[in-house]
Amino acid sequence: MSSNLSSVNNSVQTGTTPEEDAIDIKKIVAHLVQNWILFIASIIICIILATLYWYYALPSWHVASKILVVDSKNGPQGGLSGTLSSEMGSLFNAKSSADNEIQVLKSRTLIEKTVASMQLNVKTYLKNGLKNKEIYNDAPFTVKIASYKVDTVILKKYDVVIISDNEYRISDSEDDIDIKAKFGQTISLPQYNIVLEYVPGASHAKKYEIAIQSPDGAVAEVTKDFNALLSDKQATTIDLTYTYSHPAKGEAILNKIMELYLVSNLQNEKLIADSTIAFIDSRIILVSNELNNIEKQFEQYKTKNNLANITEQSKSLVSSASNYYDKLAQQEIQLSIINDLEKYLNNPKNKNVIPSSLINPSDQSFGQAINSYNDLLISRDKSSLSYTEDNPVILNYDKQISNSRLNLLRNIATYKKTLQVGKQQLQQKNAGFTGQLNQLPNKERNYLDFSRQQNLKQELFLFLLQKREESAISRNSTISSSRVIDTAKSEFLPFKPKRSIIYIIALFLGVLIPGIYLLFKELLNVRIDSKSDIESITNVPIIGEIGHNSDKQSLVTGTNSRSVISEQFRSLRTNLQFVLDGSKSNVLLFTSSMSGEGKSFLSLNLGSALALTDKKVVFVEMDLRKPKLSESVGLSIDNGYTNYAISEEINYDFKKLLKPLSFNKNCFLISAGPIPPNPAELLINGKLEKLITYLRSEFDYIIMDCAPVGLVTDALMLERHVDLTFFVTRQNFTFKSQLNILNGLIKTQKIESLYIVVNDIKTQKGGYSSYGQGYYGYGIDSEQDNWLSKIKFWK
């Protein structure tokens, strides 16, 4: 032990500071085990709370369904497929993008329709003690909101008690509402008027609760719990999922969303056909009027000129020229259609699709340009269901439509020039025949002109009638571009709450919460609690550890004293043999960081323990500012050191300062004397050195009880007369930061031989649990104490 203390003391003399200690797992485990009751109590409380949560928590089910979005390029396209020409089919079977359909499914418009259709802002609950359960189809009554009185509806809950099959009572203590009414009767509430209709034959309890919120709030709830995702990147199937606390109602909500979506999708498909029919109808009226005018003029011409048949001479010539007339008629038809389309497109306000089937199918590029323009119009209509008009997506579509319209106008201009060139060529051909016909009578030539115009208008009229019939058939046979693969189906068990997960979390929190509490308690503890607290701050060795003085007596060491704390003072006395030279008189100084740490108590009892070995001990009360040692032994502070320090006697008799102590004949006390106004000056006037010289010659140990070194410099003034300095710390009293005083004293070499004594150690504290539990039978004064000591020792 001597070598250990010496090595530590050498490190202290060099002024070194402790190194960062690694995490002490054993200390942590010991600290946790020491507080095992706290952990067990926390775990039990958390498990009880978890059980209550599991019982009262609202369960949730996953509801799933699947929709197929038909790709216009790879799949069937409704009623037109296989029935009409591909030209007309392109008008009604625009490409359905699965990504766009997901946005439509998740659109607020569709959710609002679902909420309004099923009145999802009204919920009915069955009251069962503290736990309310939502009911759906098995509710004994239905709730209908007749009208709203306010713009913003606040969530309200009403208690409903069924009195009989005809009557019920509705109440709300918050709004002081208590109404007795009959089923079917309109009830006026602050925010709305409602009607409760009785459901005959439904089994029912007595107490229910209805919750009514705003439709916007219900829309927000459905939107939050509803989701639509692509099943696979390579597929056009969409998985719909919905989370709800009632499986049957969740299935009904998801089925209603799909139903309204399919209806909306079909309406969009028919809207395209309606637009085409409207365009054809307007052309039929115009062509019909033109045909009637030509026929009337032709009839008047024949009547005026008495014409019934064409002469046989003109039959041959007419027969030869008929082919060129037909070709020219076709060119004029196309030019007429192109001119109408050009007028239609020149007006940017026209947003309807253009029937590509009216164009000659031989011009594929022009037809593709029309289809591209129609696709943009259809995509914009679908996107407008999910976005507002000023949304960047809609604005982008408008820009693309404008560019496509301009491009289409340029294509029309090019195609128109091509038709005009063809027409000119045919006209040149017909000019040759016209020259020959000039030889015929003028009447016959006019007759042919009227006939040609009549045929042209008749062919155009028949063509439009045919296309209109095809459009009407297509509209009635159109089906939605999407269809349901799997209807809504909920899982057999709710996905939450999970009992196993809840209990695992409860167990985890039961351990975590006290752990965090102990951690913060340790972090917030600024006072010394264990030996490791001291060793982590300073390298000054601990020479003694004194337990808690439960008897509150100033003197605990004596000839017949065998208590635990007395044995600890004897152990401290033994340790002094390894650090002091026993062949000479030694001066021991007790100081601390602040008052109240037990300097007087330790100095008195250590001196008493030394006196038990027949050593002469004198106590010098050097705490001139706040003396306590004299009071501890029941003596007055009069006639003490201050009397000597201010005395002018040359040969002072030191014996008159010595006061014998009653508890041991070898112990004497030099009191502090009256409290002086200048204590520090009395320690450096040279008289203290003479007193120490005298005491060394008369006593084996001189024990000085000095003022705290952390408050005043008295201890530093005495240090040159001292052989060993005790720095007293007190468990759960001394601040950790005050140990830095020791490091400063060592670094500046103001104190050479310095040791720490830890006072007032409580039993079973981390770092000190082995103290205060007995020394193998020593210090046991009764059979009961012996029994308790054995239990503590084995523990």
Same domain, 72 and 177: yes
**pLDDT at residue 314 in the model:** 58
Same domain, 412 and 384: yes
Instruction: Tell me: pLDDT of 614 over 50.
Output: yes
pLDDT band at 612 (very low <50, low <70, confident <90, very high): confident
Indicate the number of domains in the chain.
Answer: 3
Phi and psi, residue 241, nearest 5°: -130, 145
Residue 668: pLDDT band with limits 50, 70, 90: very high
Cβ(778)–Cβ(567) below 8 Å: yes
Distances (CA, A) of 379 to 81, 112, 372, 393, 397: 21, 22, 11, 11, 8
Among 217, 241, 266, give the residue marking a domain's end.
Answer: 266
List pLDDT tens digits, range 289-323.
888 888 787 777 777 765 655 555 456 566 666 77
Q: Are residues 316 and 387 in the same domain?
A: yes
User: Token pair 């060491």 is at which residue?
Assistant: 557
Helix H segments across 71-107? Answer: 86-89, 98-105
CA-nearest of 246, 264, 243, 230 to 114 is 264
Lowest mean pLDDT of 27-31, 124-128, 198-202, 241-245, name the range: 27-31
Peptide bond into 541 cis (omega under 30): no
Domain end call among 453, 487, 521: 487
CA dist 663 and 611 (Å) reads: 10
3-class secondary-structure state, position 216: helix
Q: Is residue 494 part of a domain?
A: no
Same domain, 607 and 640: yes
Amino acid at 716: L
Q: Please report, for residues 97, 265, 488, 577, the alpha-carbon distance to residue 101 in angstroms, rounded to integers and kept in the order given.
A: 6, 9, 18, 93
- Asked whether residue 300 falls in the same domain as residue 262, the answer is no
Give the residue-averaged pLDDT of 338-354. Answer: 77
b (16+ CB within 10 A) / e for 208-220 = bbbbbbbbebbbe
Does 247 share its domain with 296?
Answer: no
In this prediction, residue 435 carries a pLDDT of 62
Largest CA distance in the chain: 179
Structure tokens that stand for 714 in this block:
């008295």
Residue 90 has pLDDT above 60, yes or no: no
Would you state the structure tokens that stand for residue 452, as one six-digit string?
Answer: 């040609």
Tell me: do 237 and 324 sit in the same domain: no
Tell me the C-alpha distance between 246 and 254, whole Å: 12
Residue 600 has pLDDT above 50, yes or no: yes
Which of 13-17, 28-32, 315-319 has the weakest average pLDDT? Answer: 13-17
Residue 348 within a domain: yes
Cite the DSSP H helix spans in 559-705.
564-576, 599-611, 629-632, 641-645, 679-682, 687-698
Residue 776 resides in a domain = no
210 located within any domain: yes
**CA–CA distance, 220 with 225 (Å, rounded to integer):** 9
Helices (H), 24-107: 25-34, 36-56, 86-89, 98-105
State which H helix or E strand residue 69 sits in. strand 61-69
Structure-token match 């004397």, residue found: 673
From first CA to last CA, the distance across the chain in angstroms is: 27
Q: What tokens does 8 get?
A: 């530590």
pLDDT value for 321: 67
Indicate whether 68 belongs to any domain.
yes
Please, which residues bridge with residue 419 across strands? none
Shared-domain flag, residues 587 and 609: yes
**Confidence at residue 298, expressed as pLDDT on a 0 to 100 scale:** 73
Owner of token pair 């989701």? 227
Average of per-residue pLDDT values in the chain: 77
Identify the helix (H) or strand (E) that includes residue 508.
Answer: helix 499-524
Within a domain: residue 629? yes
Per-residue pLDDT reduced to its tens digit, 143-160: 998 888 888 888 888 988
| Confidence band of 249 (pLDDT split at 50, 70, 90) | confident
Residues 254 and 336 placed together within one structural domain of the fold: no
Whether the pLDDT of residue 44 is over 90: the answer is yes
**Both 674 and 729 in a single domain?**
yes
Examine residue 41 and state whether it is found in any structural domain, yes or no: no
| 299 in the same domain as 194 | no
Answer whether residue 606 shows pLDDT above 90.
Answer: no
479, 607: one domain = no
The DSSP-derived string for 379-432 is: HHHHHTTTS-TTSHHHHHHHHHHHHHHHHHHHHHHHHHHHHHHHHHHHHHHHHH
List the domain range (segments joined by +) for residue 344. Answer: 269-487
- In a domain, residue 155? The reply is yes
Residue 667: give its domain's CATH number: 3.40.50.300
Given its phi and psi angles, is residue 557 left (phi above 0), alpha (psi -120 to 50 degrees) or beta? Answer: beta
Residue 592 main-chain phi, psi, to 5 deg: -160, -175
Say what the pLDDT of residue 643 is.
Answer: 86
C-alpha distance from residue 516 to each of 34, 143, 487, 767 (Å): 15, 50, 50, 21
Neighbour-count burial for 390-409, b at 16+ CB within 10 Å, e otherwise: eeeebeebeebbeebbeebe
> Could you tell me which of 64, 68, 63 has the C-alpha nearest to residue 484?
68
